[in-house]
Amino acid sequence: MEAQLKVFVGFLVIVCVIGAVSVEAAGPCGDSSPDDEAIKLLPCAAAAQDAKAAVSSSCCFQVKKFSQNPGCLCAVLFSDMAKSSGVKPEAGITIPKRCNFANRPIGYKCGPYTLP
């Protein structure tokens, strides 16, 4: 009986360690990298470079998916892909408001910026 208990406890420890590693491996966008997610926001290129540019319906459709995960949106705005595409985080952070999302995460801190 004692040997079975030791095996069971050992199994639990392994499961917990694997679970902890899996949680650490997931980033702000889950299993997807912010660079991979940035590609999905291609329709937002102009709106993310100029806070006064019109926001297309296809951009709003894509950004709405991020409204439930503002940490991912923030990571995308500061990703290498976004930087190399000319995205200005101070403009990109205003897209949910410009899309008129009523349930956007107002006040969420994204680096030095706050979601309006």
Query: Which CATH number does 32-114 carry?
Result: 1.10.110
Distances (CA, A) of 46 to 19, 41, 42, 95, 99: 40, 10, 9, 11, 14
- Within 1-116, strands assigned E span 109-110, 113-114
The structural domains of the chain, with segments of one domain joined by +, span 32-114
Q: Over its length of 116 residues, how does the chain's per-residue pLDDT go in tens digits?
A: 454 333 333 333 333 334 434 445 689 999 999 999 999 999 999 999 999 999 999 999 999 988 789 999 999 999 999 999 999 999 999 999 999 998 888 999 999 999 99
Backbone angles phi, psi at 97, to 5 degrees: -70, -40
3-state secondary structure of 95: helix
Q: How far apart are CA 27 and CA 86, in angstroms?
A: 23
